[in-house]
Amino acid sequence: MASPGSSQAQPNVSSGDVPHSTADVHSSFENCTSASDDSDGAHEELQHAFLELETAALRDRDAGLAWVQVDKQAIEAAAQVKRHPDNTTSGAFIFVDEELLLGYHITHARRLGASCAPGLRTDTIQRWGGPEPSLTILFKISYDGFLRTFAVCEIAMARLSELPSADIRTIDDSFITSHFRDLVTSTQLGFDRRDQRYLNTFKDISPAASLAEYMRVVADKIVRIKVNINEAGSRALTIYYPTKFWEQQLQWLHSDARDIADTVRNVLSNLQHGNFSSLWVVFPESRSYERLWLSKWGPLLSRDSPRSPFHQIAADVCRGNTRNSHHNISLASVDRKYTLDRAAIFFLTKDERTVALIGGAADEANWLKQQADDCSRAVFKGWVLPIPGSEWIAKETDELVYGIKGTGVPTKFIVAIRLGDYRQRCLLPEAGTAVRLYIHLSQKFNQRPDKPLIASQVASFVTALASGLSEAHSEAVKYFNVAQDRLQEMLHERYDDNDIDAQEQLVDTILDDKYLEIATPKIMSYIATFFRDADYSMPDADIDAKRRVDARQAAKLLRKDEHEDELDYRKRIIGWMSAQVVAGRAALNEKYGEPCTGIRVNIPSYRSANCAFFQVDAPLQPNWPHGWSQPPLQLIDMPLSAMPWKLGTYLDSLAQHMADAREVRIEYDVNNTPVKFECDAINSFNNVPDDSPMSKWWSFLLSFNPVSLPLAYDLVERFTGIRQFIDQGKFVEDEAIEAFRHARASKIFIAGGSSSGRSDFAATLVHAIKSGQDIAATAQSPSAILWTAPQNAEVNHAVEHLTALMPRKRIVRVYSFNLELRTLLKATLDTPPQLSIPERTSSTIERLLRQANEFQQEIFDEGNPATDPTSCSRQLRLEVETNPAQYPMMKQAWDLEESDPVTYRVNKRAYLEEARRLLSTFIAQADVIAATPTDLRILYDHVPDLSPCFLVVNEAGKMTEGMSLMPLVRHPQLPTLFIGDTRDAGPQAVAKKDKNYGALFTKQRETSLLHRVEAAGQLDFAFAGDAASQELEKIFEAWKNTTRRQFTREIKLVEDYILSE
């Protein structure tokens, strides 16, 4: 009997019919289709009466046969073999508490699962490569030739109290008779299809033969995977029932099929509630390939890391370590052979999300650090080219500035590094990166000045030394606070007593030890002689060792007391310094001499030379007295005294000039601040109070389960300006703004293409909010609105757009707060370093210097508030210059910096605090603050009074999940619009390009939060800017009219074929 819906063309699902065992027999069923078979043999087989043989005789025949446990060494060996992390076992049989699930057809049992028989079908997917290994069981009903998935059960294997076990036994009549009972023989479910090869396989089997005899034709043995659920219960199980089946497809099935689905669902419900203790997965062992099944199941059965390549990371989190960062999360134990390049749209647990997001960020930081370390150890061949016009020509002011006269030697160089093999090429830093080059050239030190110090130099020395000692004390306090926090954490987590004692001892001594460690080198350059104590205590030591002992004693002596007056402190330093003979000391770098500092530059004209270019300065003489500027050292024995006139020809033939090459080592620093803030964002949300609205929103973002659906807020009602703009028709998309009437946890997610007008919509929204009132605020007037985007250029474009919309509002572009502070405090703004181009030089050299200058200007402008008139420091400078009477202290600081530097340095701390106060107040009173996520996060630490009313996360599709949450760390309940393009290039995982590294969680890192929300069908609106976007909008509109679905971690990834059945 065909169902009413059978006339509809519904595709088959091939994944449920993939053979996995005996090659000859199972391949005959590989291409099963939905059509029925009219052969008489087929009908006769379905009428066979099950279990006609005498069970007592069967027990005698099969006496002594039992399950044989699989060798543990074989499991471990199979688990170590590299393979695809997801494996499917089609046609398995599921037992719950040793009872076979009801609904399997007798034909399906005879073929040991390799069939298109009607009735219950169960397939398993073994996922072992993710943060938490899992076993997924797909429950399907085969009716009238079509497969429909009606339930999916996912078991988090790492949460079970014990590992699954594996057994093998020969197919014997006693076991089959006692366990394969109540099989379906009904023809009301439709007919299965058998080809001639199947009929030939079973043609010698009598219709009255036992079920075991049929099975033995397919395989000799069966495998049992035993999973103990018991106390794990719902903690390890996630069960999903596809809405489409239960609300649309179920009604068209025959009552027998409906009974099977209802019965299995009832069993699964009891399983989840802990009413059953064990689950078996039974399938045949391949006759052709013994132990082939181990390649699929071995990792789930292994006792150690193959069970989960990231098990150690997960263990850190599951122990309650909710403050993971890229520093303390464990990555060393991960076997990178088993990395999984797949992103989870639906996370199973909070721990899994924490591991994936923090682990990905930590691993990227680890790779960047490893690249920098490898680069510093590598030796490159470099050609050092003196830049014409950079010679230190003697001037009258040299002795006042440096204490010595100019030497006339070059002070700037272009270093050409020949790009050799691919590995070395990858180690080099990106263009624009600040570097330190250690060049294998002799360095000549300048002779220290002999002239007596004048009064102004003594005052300058005292100021510099006092500042250095104050800095040493501040750094020591930071180390002390870190150690103190660590001690409290150890006490809270109840660490071992020995560890706690060691940490307490560290806390007691670290303040003094760190101060002396940092202060001693700062005092060394002021000591020409040493006290008798040092000479008596270590008479055989060299002079440097005695100086260091003396400097350490001086650091103790000159340490400022807690309540000491600033003037008294300076007098004490002057008294000590009057007894010293100030000397400039020459101390070589312990590794390769003093480094040449500079950046890697991009010079397009010479790309054909296959070289990397670095523009560097000559090393500065170390430990030069602080009263003078450090003079450049002289590089001697240079192979080239001048840059080659025909530079292009020279660079194209470097192989012929190997005698001019020198060994070069390159060091550079890695900026891990963004990664730290990403980890901090995830940790902050993990630790929000359980009873807060944000806790529910954070749980909802885990798997988008409607059970965790947070409260919705009407933002149109809150911000009156939005309602006004709606009434005036200023929003292009009325439907998009309607989503703000039911914003879940005050958060809105909108996607749109590049030509969809999404940025205009976001800017209009900001304009609307600032045009009305905020009824949730005490003062009614909306406070600052935050706008963020991942790149500086995107933020700058937003500032231009918003300024054009709201010319009378204070819209400030905020860069790194320290850079803003520096820009405000300096009397004269910094300018980029520029190379002078000699009048008489070759065209090739002139072109090189000009392009180097252009690149330096480009790097200088990038992220620099001094060159941006919209930056908060530049806007505040303009206000100070316009109204100097209102800012007398800042005006005084600028004047003194140029006219009396010594007095300025004495009072610099007070000027700095005033600048910090003015800058914080100026930012807090802004209407719109635009910054990158990292700069916005830094801003929170410096402007605690900042209390924004709204946040726009623009280009959210380009941000990692941690980065998009970064601006919400201090204000998690802030109404937020996440808007961007999910079809464009997403976040980048730079470690992915290193194939030998085996980066972790790269796909997850390349998946933005906006993309996850879209994939889960949870977008609030989608703009349509092109054909693809219009199709997306249609899909979205259809989704809005359907019942909200429930999702689990990976199930949505197979949702397409689940819902099409």
Question: Residues 552-607: pLDDT tens digits?
Answer: 888 888 888 888 888 888 888 887 776 665 444 444 444 557 899 999 998 877 66
Higher pLDDT, 901 or 479: 479
Between 172-176, 880-884, 967-971, the lowest mean confidence (pLDDT) is in: 172-176
Contacts of 836 (CB under 8 A, 6+ apart): 389, 390
Note the pLDDT of residue 934. Answer: 96
Note the pLDDT of residue 811. Answer: 96
Q: Note the pLDDT tens digit of each residue in 983-1020.
A: 888 898 888 888 888 888 888 899 999 999 998 889 99
User: Do 134 and 231 sit in the same domain of this protein?
Assistant: yes
Helix (H) or strand (E) holding 747: strand 747-751
In a domain, 50, yes or no: yes
Residue 812: closest CA among 678, 923, 941: 923
Quick check: 93 pLDDT over 90?
yes
User: Do 547 and 598 sit in the same domain of this protein?
Assistant: no
Instruction: Please state the rounded mean pLDDT for residues 400-429.
Output: 86
Whole-angstrom distance, CA of residue 831 vs CA of residue 1: 86
Q: Which domain does 547 fall in, by range?
A: 455-578
Quick check: 42 pLDDT over 50?
no
Higher pLDDT, 635 or 324: 635
Look up residue 569 and give its two tokens.
Answer: 């402190």
In a domain, 966, yes or no: yes
In a domain, 934, yes or no: yes
SS (H, E, C) 220-274: CEEEEEEEECHHHHHHCEEEECCHHHHHHHHHHCCHHHHHHHHHHHHHHHHHHCC
H runs (alpha helix) in 117-189: 173-179
Quick check: 8 pLDDT over 80?
no
Note the pLDDT of residue 304. Answer: 46
Higher pLDDT, 917 or 1001: 917
> Is 196:121 a contact under the CB 8 Å cutoff?
no
Q: Note the pLDDT tens digit of each residue in 439-459.
A: 998 888 887 776 555 666 667
> Is 969:681 a contact under the CB 8 Å cutoff?
yes
Instruction: Please state the rounded mean pLDDT for residues 948-968.
Output: 96
Whole-angstrom distance, CA of residue 50 vs CA of residue 185: 9
Going by pLDDT thresholds of 50, 70 and 90, the confidence category of residue 732 is low
| 268-299 core/surface letters (b: 16 or more CB in 10 A; e: else) | beebbeeebeebbbbbbbbbeeebebbebbbb
Note the pLDDT of residue 240. Answer: 85
End position of a domain, from candidates 261, 288, 308:
308
Instruction: Please state the rounded mean pLDDT for residues 647-667.
Output: 88
Strands 928-931 and 712-713: unpaired
Between 33-37, 552-556, 636-640, the lowest mean confidence (pLDDT) is in: 33-37
Between 175-189, 478-492, 586-600, 638-652, the lowest mean confidence (pLDDT) is in: 586-600
End position of a domain, from candidates 612, 636, 667:
667
Note the pLDDT of residue 114. Answer: 77
Quick check: 192 pLDDT over 70?
no
Look up residue 953 and give its two tokens.
Answer: 């996360």
Note the pLDDT of residue 446. Answer: 83
User: Do 549 and 605 sit in the same domain of this protein?
Assistant: no
User: Do 180 and 88 sit in the same domain of this protein?
Assistant: yes
User: Do 51 and 180 sit in the same domain of this protein?
Assistant: yes
End position of a domain, from candidates 528, 547, 578:
578
Higher pLDDT, 812 or 157: 812
Whole-angstrom distance, CA of residue 837 vs CA of residue 835: 6
Note the pLDDT of residue 1058. Answer: 34
In a domain, 990, yes or no: yes
Quick check: 547 pLDDT over 80?
no
Whole-angstrom distance, CA of residue 106 vs CA of residue 100: 13
In a domain, 140, yes or no: yes
Q: Which amino acid is at 518?
A: I
Whole-angstrom distance, CA of residue 760 vs CA of residue 752: 11
User: Do 644 and 789 sit in the same domain of this protein?
Assistant: no
Instruction: Please state the rounded mean pLDDT for residues 118-139.
Output: 80
Going by pLDDT thresholds of 50, 70 and 90, the confidence category of residue 144 is confident
Note the pLDDT of residue 497. Answer: 85
Note the pLDDT of residue 14. Answer: 31
Residue carrying structure tokens 């149109």: 716
Q: Note the pLDDT tens digit of each residue in 789-830.
A: 999 999 999 999 999 999 999 999 999 999 999 999 999 988
User: Do 643 and 761 sit in the same domain of this protein?
Assistant: no
pLDDT > 70: what percent of the chain?
Answer: 77
Whole-angstrom distance, CA of residue 94 vs CA of residue 264: 11
> Is 93:273 a contact under the CB 8 Å cutoff?
no
Q: Which amino acid is at 767?
A: H
pTM (two decimals): 0.65
In a domain, 905, yes or no: no
User: Do 611 and 753 sit in the same domain of this protein?
Assistant: no
Whole-angstrom distance, CA of residue 991 vs CA of residue 113: 43
Count of domains forming the chain: 4
Going by pLDDT thresholds of 50, 70 and 90, the confidence category of residue 396 is confident
pLDDT > 90: what percent of the chain?
Answer: 32
Residue 136, classed as helix, strand or coil, is strand
Look up residue 956 and give its two tokens.
Answer: 């959210």
User: Do 464 and 510 sit in the same domain of this protein?
Assistant: yes
Strands 165-170 and 221-228: antiparallel
Note the pLDDT of residue 955. Answer: 95
Going by pLDDT thresholds of 50, 70 and 90, the confidence category of residue 611 is confident
> Is 397:406 a contact under the CB 8 Å cutoff?
no
User: Do 998 and 1032 sit in the same domain of this protein?
Assistant: yes
User: Do 934 and 1051 sit in the same domain of this protein?
Assistant: yes
Going by pLDDT thresholds of 50, 70 and 90, the confidence category of residue 870 is very high
On average, the pLDDT of the chain sits at 79
In a domain, 400, yes or no: yes
Instruction: Please state the rounded mean pLDDT for residues 186-214.
Output: 71
Note the pLDDT of residue 495. Answer: 85
Strands 928-931 and 785-788: parallel
Quick check: 1046 pLDDT over 50?
no
Whole-angstrom distance, CA of residue 84 vs CA of residue 239: 25
| 138-160 core/surface letters (b: 16 or more CB in 10 A; e: else) | bbbbbbbbbbbbbbbbbbbbbbb
Residue 198: closest CA among 306, 117, 120, 292: 117
Note the pLDDT of residue 701. Answer: 92
Note the pLDDT of residue 326. Answer: 54
Going by pLDDT thresholds of 50, 70 and 90, the confidence category of residue 961 is very high
**Most confident option among 60-74, 157-171, 517-531, 679-693:** 679-693
Residue carrying structure tokens 């002795």: 399
Whole-angstrom distance, CA of residue 866 vs CA of residue 830: 7
Whole-angstrom distance, CA of residue 1024 vs CA of residue 294: 49
User: Do 222 and 101 sit in the same domain of this protein?
Assistant: yes
Note the pLDDT of residue 835. Answer: 84
Note the pLDDT of residue 457. Answer: 62
Whole-angstrom distance, CA of residue 439 vs CA of residue 617: 12
In a domain, 794, yes or no: yes
